[in-house]
Amino acid sequence: MDKPDTFSLNRRHFLSYIALGTISLLTKDLLDPGSAIAATQESSNSNSILEKYHIFVPYVTARNGGKQTVNLRSGDICQIEIPSRTLENQEITIKGIGENENDILVVLHTLYDRQFRIADQVYQEIDKNTQFIEEASKAKCKSVYEQVENGEYLDDQSTLALLDYIISTSNLDQQIKERYHIASTNSRLLGIEQTIESALSKSNLKEPEKKQIRGTYAYVRAGEPVPNFKALTDIDSIVTNSALPLEIKQTYFLASTQSRALTVDFIIVKLIDESKNISDEKRKIYQSIYQRVREGKKVDDEVNLKSLDAFINDAEIPQNAKFIYSIAKDQELDTKHQNLDPQEISPQVAKDLLQDAKSQLNAASNGARIVPLANKILSTFGVETATGVSISSLSGAAATNATLAFLGGGSVAAGGLGMLGGLAVATGGAALIGAAGLLSIALVSEMDDKDRKNLGIAIGTGTIAGAVSVLAAWTAATALGVAGTLSGAAAITAIISALGGLSVITGGATLIASVTAWAIWSFLKGKKQRDQSVLHQLETRTYTLTEDPLPGTLGAFLKNKMELYNFEEGFSAPNIPLDKLSKALSKWVLINPDEKVMALIDTSTWNDAKGIIFTDNRVIWKRTWSGTYSKTYADLARFLNMETELISLLSDEHHRQELSKLEKLVYILSDDYANDFYKMQELVNLVSNNKILSDFVSNHDRNKISDLKILVDTLSDSQKYHHWSNLKNAVDVLNRENDLRIILPSQLASQLSDVQYREDLLELEKLVNMLSSEYDKAGFEKLVKNIATFNKRK
């Protein structure tokens, strides 16, 4: 296959063609070609537009001044002098360091303010206008705010989401909300940037290749078309295979996929508008058909559709563009829910919407159905290093249509903040964006270990969710129309993907347990009234895992065992229903600020909330109205140690012989042995050389013989002494009849009489009995022993 012609992107010309006339048309899907021509012709003569960057400045730097690093679209890294007492939206112009030695304009954003301390108002909102389970939640929110204010990346994305909701639904000044929103988004983007730099530092790439990757990310961050498909795929792979939280990965892929689709749109629009091999009439037909293709709408004109297919397939444009067009052409997006109001959705409709999302996901995740691997076209896609179009050559309606269809998502070129503006969805091109996402899935999935090693990706580590799963989760939402009108199924699946994570789309109950998804949809659409139930459920997420735990961790271990034993009403993180967990946290369990719930077995009745919770440090339970109990995993390990020692003693040959004598003794003493010569002779043989047994026989009574029988039967049968209920019976006997201790081997008696062991055994037996079915009880006993063993290994 011939390598397509490639052209470089000229940043200055690109900006001059799209900047004017863009903002007024941001929310329109269909554009007016006439007015667009006038706008671009006027802007093309302007030389005043600079290469623009939006950055967040940490509080201390903004107050005192200092230096800050900025990654440029050229791939260079520059240090910018930040003035002291920085103002919000303050601009700095730096001469000649942009692409083609252009000037750059840096717009500063900060939570520092000369007039007042924004943090004081935020803390007041947290303290006085929210209701939490415990003060610990308020402390966590304040700590997260400090990190956001200081321009730091933080792992605790759940608390950050909670704080986002508190501030966005508060009565704080709108400017404070907007400034906080930028700061919050910045903290997430820092994770992406740190991940890319970490990979590059370990990679085998040459410096020009590293610069290409840095520069390409700068374009993605600005929400603009990219100059290099190969570099974009490399970044996709770095982010996908990282340990970043899933929601941050989804934020990145929303921007990455839109940039890829935007670039392809430029290529195809230019191809149609500037081809000298078609008539003006045919050009208009192709434009109309292509408009419907990229929106995922049905094309009835089959003849001209096939003609357009052939025209694009024969063109000298990158294979990326051809294949994305081909995928988009086959996507006729679901519209049956487009007129639904999410505030009025019934549970059944909600289930239907989720089923639609899952169906889209299943189709998207089957790489063999997306990419013709047999032809090895992927290798060509992967090495394409440029877009194949000179954006500077776009003009008139072609330029405007190519840009405005997508730049409604808040790109810097259209006057927005790019990724720094937060979750921004393009106003058009649903099918094209979905197709770009599907191609990204295939490209990243096809990378082998050698490719990943070359990029500095640690092989076999950090992949919380695989490349196909992460990208398909986002694409499932996109394919339902997220890039279109953000209504009905589109809106709901977008929020599920962004806030619920992959587990929800693939069948988990994290957000679908109540109306959380629809309420947050309302919040994002601009209805800022706070919903207390949403607040509580968002808070609940801060006390549990929100994505699949890493292999080898306690969370992964518990998840595996919970699935293995299949408890009734048993759930493991991240698929614990938030309504059930929220009820437990508010009714009967107190979780420490730094504690995470790993699993829940809900044994509640209609009038009593109770159950069993596993955290990362302990098991907590409430079995009656009397109170809540807990044991740390260290307690379980100690208990298991004692039980292991006891079972070892019971398996010892000497102790087995001693217990065998006691079995014979019980057998003889249980009947009338006085008139049975053989029994009398056997009894004499048993006690003749054992004064303890002799004294016991001389002084025994019937009740003690019954208790001794229970004790001996349990301790002599391995099928019995491996179960807590039987051991508990043995312990009860010794606790009730101290005299029996003296006839047992001393070590056995000591182990069974240990006060701590007896208390642990009694508590654990009560805990097991909270479960209604015998199957659950047997599985739970094994689970607790599994946890104790796991804890010992760690």
Rounded Cα–Cα distance for residues 257 and 419 (Å): 12
| Domain end position, chosen among 469, 490, 507 | 507
Closest CA to 359 of 445, 476, 466: 476
What are the pLDDT digits (tens) for 44-102? 333 344 789 999 999 999 999 999 999 999 999 999 999 999 999 999 999 988 887 88
| Domain end position, chosen among 479, 507, 535 | 507
Rounded Cα–Cα distance for residues 91 and 416 (Å): 15
Assigned domain for 708 exists: yes
Rounded Cα–Cα distance for residues 72 and 106 (Å): 11
Closest CA to 430 of 272, 324, 312: 324
Rounded Cα–Cα distance for residues 29 and 40 (Å): 18
Boundaries of domain holding 339: 203-507
* pTM for the structure as a whole: 0.74
SS3 assignment, position 80 = strand
What are the pLDDT digits (tens) for 739-763? 788 788 888 888 888 888 888 888 8
Which DSSP category does 408 fall into?
G
pLDDT at 69: 94
pLDDT at 673: 64
Strands (E) across 589-649 are located at: 597-602, 611-615, 618-624, 627-632
Residue indicated by tokens 């840009």: 403
Assigned domain for 478 exists: yes
Scanning 316-429, the segments in alpha helix (DSSP H) are 319-329, 347-364, 367-370, 377-383, 396-404
Q: What value does the mean pLDDT take over residues 121-135?
A: 85
Among 160-164, 321-325, 360-364, which is the least confidently predicted range?
A: 360-364
Assigned domain for 697 exists: yes
pLDDT at 177: 94
Q: What are the backbone angles phi and psi of residue 64, rounded to the nearest 5°?
A: -100, -15
Rounded Cα–Cα distance for residues 540 and 546 (Å): 10
783 in the same domain as 641:
yes
Q: How many structural domains is the chain composed of?
A: 2
pLDDT at 296: 77
Task: Considering only residues 683 and 123, tell me which one the structure prediction assigns the higher pLDDT.
Answer: 123
Q: What value does the mean pLDDT take over residues 119-133?
A: 87
- Checking phi first, is residue 709 left (phi over 0); if not, alpha (psi -120 to 50) or beta? alpha
Assigned domain for 723 exists: yes
Assigned domain for 6 exists: no
| Domain end position, chosen among 486, 507, 528 | 507
Query: Are 479 and 497 spatial neighbours (Cβ–Cβ below 8 Å)?
Result: no
256 in the same domain as 393:
yes
Assigned domain for 28 exists: no
Assigned domain for 51 exists: no
Mean of the per-residue pLDDT values of the chain = 74
pLDDT band at 605 (very low <50, low <70, confident <90, very high): confident
Rounded Cα–Cα distance for residues 486 and 478 (Å): 10
